Chains A and B, each alone.
Chain A
Amino acid sequence: MAISDTVLYLIAMITVLVAVGVILYSLIYTNQINKKIQSGKITGKKLVDIPKAIMAAVIIVLLFYCILFALSIHEMRNSTVSRNDLAVIDVSNPDDYRYEQFIGNGLKDASYAVMYSKEENPGYSKEILKDGDFVFTVFKRTSVADNFHPDFLCYVDYQGKLEKNQVVYNDNSIVSSTDGTDQDGFGSGGYNDIHSVLYVGNLDVDSDLVIQYHILDEASEQAYKKAEEEQQAALDAGKYAQSTASARISFR
Chain B
Amino acid sequence: MRLRLRLNRETEEDIKKELMEKGIEITEDASLILTEENYCEESLFCRDESGLVSVLFDEICHVESLGHDVFVYTKENKYKTKMRIYQLEKILPAEQFIRISNSIIIRRNAIRRIRPGLSCKFYLTLINGASVDVTRTYYYKFKEFYGI
Q: Do A and B bind each other?
A: yes
Q: Which residues of A contact B (CB under 8 A)?
A: 26, 29-30, 32-34, 36-37, 40-44, 46-47, 49-51, 54
Given contacts A44-B147, A47-B148, contact A37 B111 (CB under 8 A): yes
Q: Which residues of B contact A (CB under 8 A)?
A: 108-109, 111, 113-120, 143, 146-148
Q: Which of A36, A49, A54 contacts B147 (CB 8 A)?
A: A36
20 A-B pairs with C-beta separation under 8 A: A30-B114, A30-B116, A32-B148, A33-B116, A33-B148, A34-B114, A36-B147, A37-B148, A40-B109, A41-B147, A42-B147, A44-B147, A46-B143, A46-B147, A47-B148, A49-B116, A49-B143, A50-B117, A50-B118, A54-B118
- A37: chain B residues at CB < 8 Å are 111, 114, 146, 148
- A34: chain B residues at CB < 8 Å are 113-114
A157 to B120, CA, bound (A): 58
- B111: chain A residues at CB < 8 Å are 37
A43 to B111, CA, bound (A): 18
A36 touches B116 (CB 8 A): no
In the complex, residue of chain A having the shortest beta-carbon distance to the beta carbon of B148? A33
Quote the shortest CB–CB distance from A86 to chain B (angstroms).
44
A43 to B144, CA, bound (A): 10
Quote the shortest CB–CB distance from B113 to chain A (angstroms).
6
Given contacts A41-B147, A42-B146, A43-B147, contact A33 B118 (CB under 8 A): no
Most chain B CB within a 10 A radius of its CB, from A26, A29, A30, A33 = A33
A50 to B122, CA, bound (A): 11
Known: A33-B146, A50-B118. 6 other contacts (CB 8 A): A33-B114, A33-B116, A34-B113, A36-B146, A44-B147, A46-B143
B120 touches A49 (CB 8 A): yes
- B113: chain A residues at CB < 8 Å are 34
- B117: chain A residues at CB < 8 Å are 50
B148 touches A50 (CB 8 A): no
B147 touches A51 (CB 8 A): no
In the complex, residue of chain B having the shortest beta-carbon distance to the beta carbon of A43? B147
- A47: chain B residues at CB < 8 Å are 148
In the complex, residue of chain B having the shortest beta-carbon distance to the beta carbon of A32? B148
- A30: chain B residues at CB < 8 Å are 114-116
A50 touches B147 (CB 8 A): no
A29 touches B116 (CB 8 A): yes
A47 to B108, CA, bound (A): 20
- A51: chain B residues at CB < 8 Å are 118-120
Quote the shortest CB–CB distance from B70 to chain A (angstroms).
25
- A29: chain B residues at CB < 8 Å are 116
A46 touches B120 (CB 8 A): no
A33 to B116, CA, bound (A): 9
- B118: chain A residues at CB < 8 Å are 50-51, 54
Quote the shortest CB–CB distance from A169 to chain B (angstroms).
58
Quote the shortest CB–CB distance from A222 to chain B (angstroms).
62
Quote the shortest CB–CB distance from A18 to chain B (angstroms).
15
- B148: chain A residues at CB < 8 Å are 32-33, 36-37, 46-47
- B109: chain A residues at CB < 8 Å are 40
A49 to B119, CA, bound (A): 10
Quote the shortest CB–CB distance from B62 to chain A (angstroms).
15
Q: Which of B116, B120, B143 contacts A26 (CB 8 A)?
A: B116
Quote the shortest CB–CB distance from A31 to chain B (angstroms).
10
Quote the shortest CB–CB distance from A47 to chain B (angstroms).
7
A26 to B148, CA, bound (A): 14
A55 to B146, CA, bound (A): 24
- A50: chain B residues at CB < 8 Å are 116-118
